[in-house]
Amino acid sequence: MAQLAAVSEGTVDRIIHNRGQVTQENIDKVNAIIKEYGYKKNIFASNLAFNKKFKFAVFLPKNEGLEYWEIPINGIERAEDEFEKFGVTLDYYFYKYNSNSFKKIASKLLEQKYDGILFAPIFHDESILFLNQCKKKNIPVVMIDSNIKEVDSFAYIGQDAFQSGYLAGRLVCYNSTLENNVLIIKITREIESTSVYLQRIKGFYSFFEDHKEFANFKFSEIRLKDSGQKQLNVKMFEGINTIFIPNSRSYIVAKFLNKNKLNHIKLVGYDLLQENVKYLKDGVIDFLINQKPEQQGYLGVEYLYKKIILKENVENTYYMPLEIIIKENFSNSHENI
């Protein structure tokens, strides 16, 4: 760059790092070269020179038998391996599916000093409190899976939950008659108060509010706790044409439908978990909306790397594409991506 601009290396260094003592003429020449050819700081060399380390915290729900929360870890670990050479290290914090565990682990995390946090919120009110504490400490946070919009200035990588619910409404209507009985099954653990879950349901109903031609669709809701298997019975599905499940646990209902030969009922759900994929291939599940949790994990770490280490201006919101998976277009390359 110095040769192109006909200035010394020291002059280029002072201009790039804004150290002054440079004529405006030379500033203009160097900036013109940067604009034409581009410039990216050698972070690897810089970090080695100063032996600088960057510590990120990963704050996620504990797996507890749910395959979904295993998948983002794959992407996070892939990013960890990639960015380790730039001085990045990760500490992992996992909370159980109850608010007391969340608050306890959050408090433990905040006692430490981190350059950034990757966070998947489950408990809405507790997450707002946690994010406000991060804001006071000026810690950058990127959320995956669910977005808490009440606290500004933080990043989000994941699906637009409202739009994905809206899309589910369209899929329910696909190839359906104008009279349809739709059952929404909410399969929850101790509590399910995340905005993603609620926004999907809101988006689902909004589709029908916007499309009056489907006014003859009738809706009912049931709530199942945890695995839900023992709470299901054939009578629940009498007269039902379509089922919508607004989270990753479609396989629980699919297993029951298959066992009781109720495969004529259309089933729309989320996520390419192994059991969901099995019932998709068998034709019991008709549509799965894939939100690519592994990629969310990878992109979350990458966001922190770009923002904190490269000091790039990174968009605070990145919505994952709404990908519809059916039996005919599924391939092994789709799994966990």
Q: What is the pLDDT of residues 204-252, one digit of tens each?
A: 999 999 999 999 999 999 988 766 677 899 999 999 999 999 988 999 9
| Averaged pLDDT for residues 302-329 | 93
Per-residue pLDDT band at 156 (split at 50, 70, 90): very high
> For residue 2, what pLDDT is reported?
47
248 versus 92: the higher-pLDDT residue is 92
> For residue 40, what pLDDT is reported?
58
Per-residue pLDDT band at 189 (split at 50, 70, 90): low
Rounded to 5 degrees, what are φ and ψ at 180?
Answer: -155, 135
> For residue 37, what pLDDT is reported?
60
> For residue 124, what pLDDT is reported?
86
Lowest mean pLDDT among 132-146, 152-166, 181-195, 295-309: 181-195
Q: Where are the domains of the chain?
A: 2-41, 53-159+293-321, 161-290
> For residue 9, what pLDDT is reported?
55
| Averaged pLDDT for residues 25-51 | 63
CA–CA distance, 222 with 184 (Å, rounded to integer): 7
Task: Kindly tell me the sign of the dihedral angle through the C-alpha atoms of 214, 216, 220, 226.
Answer: negative
CB atoms within 10 A of CB 135: 15
> For residue 242, what pLDDT is reported?
96
| Averaged pLDDT for residues 16-38 | 68
Task: Scan for tokens 């390419």, then name that residue.
Answer: 272
| Averaged pLDDT for residues 157-172 | 96
Domain 53-159+293-321, CATH number (from 3.40.50.300, 3.40.1160.10, 3.40.50.2300, 3.60.15.10): 3.40.50.2300
Instruction: State both tokens at 156.
Output: 């989000």
> For residue 279, what pLDDT is reported?
97
> For residue 19, what pLDDT is reported?
57
> For residue 331, what pLDDT is reported?
78
Rounded to 5 degrees, what are φ and ψ at 95?
Answer: -110, 150
Average pLDDT, the chain: 86
- 325, pLDDT greater than 50: yes
Give every CB contact of residue 138 below 8 A, 6+ residues apart in sequence.
none
Per-residue pLDDT band at 190 (split at 50, 70, 90): low
Q: What is the DSSP code (8-state) at residue 228?
A: -
- Percentage of residues in the chain with pLDDT exceeding 70? 82
Same fold, 53-159+293-321 and 161-290: yes
CA–CA distance, 107 with 336 (Å, rounded to integer): 31
333 versus 203: the higher-pLDDT residue is 203
Tell me which CATH code domain 161-290 carries. 3.40.50.2300
Per DSSP bridges, beta strands 323-325 and 287-290 are antiparallel
Q: Are 250 and 269 in contact (CB under 8 A)?
A: yes
Helices (H), the chain: 2-5, 9-16, 24-37, 43-50, 71-83, 99-110, 124-136, 161-173, 195-210, 250-259, 274-281, 293-304
Q: What is the DSSP code (8-state) at residue 178?
A: S
Instruction: State both tokens at 266.
Output: 């259309």
| Averaged pLDDT for residues 102-108 | 97
CA–CA distance, 60 with 301 (Å, rounded to integer): 13
Task: Scan for tokens 């909004």, then name that residue.
Answer: 206
Task: Scan for tokens 């379509």, then name that residue.
Answer: 242
> For residue 336, what pLDDT is reported?
47
pTM of the model as a whole = 0.81
CA distances to 88, 102, 119, 130, 184 from 137, rounded to whole Å, are: 20, 19, 16, 11, 41
